[in-house]
Amino acid sequence: MNPVQSPPHQNPSCFIWNLANKLRGPYRPPQYRRVILHLVVLRRFELVLADHKQKMRQAFDARRAGA
């Protein structure tokens, strides 16, 4: 790590903004609506299903092993 840069945990806002810039990719602000809603829905699914994740993973692995 470059000594001039601080580790991400010491400056979380900078880390988050840099990550957001990388994820944004080639989209300009008027085009964000093409991506943002989908990401929000995926995140909501992740939060709603978090309690069932292990059980779903086991069911998935069992089906894949049986196929």
CB 27, CB 35: distance < 8 Å? yes
Q: What is the distance between the alpha carbons of residues 32 and 22, in angstroms, rounded to a whole number? A: 14
Question: Does residue 3 form part of some domain?
Answer: no
Number of domains, the chain = 1
Question: Does residue 14 form part of some domain?
Answer: yes
Six token digits for residue 63: 């089906």
Nearest 10 degrees: Cα torsion 32, 37, 39, 44: 150
DSSP element (H, E) containing 15: helix 12-24
**pLDDT tens-digit series, residues 9-42:** 667 778 877 877 777 777 777 877 777 788 888 8
What is the pTM for the complete model shown?
Answer: 0.43
Range of 54's domain?
A: 8-66
Q: What is the distance between the alpha carbons of residues 40 and 57, in angstroms, rounded to a whole number? A: 22
Question: Does residue 12 form part of some domain?
Answer: yes
Question: Does residue 21 form part of some domain?
Answer: yes
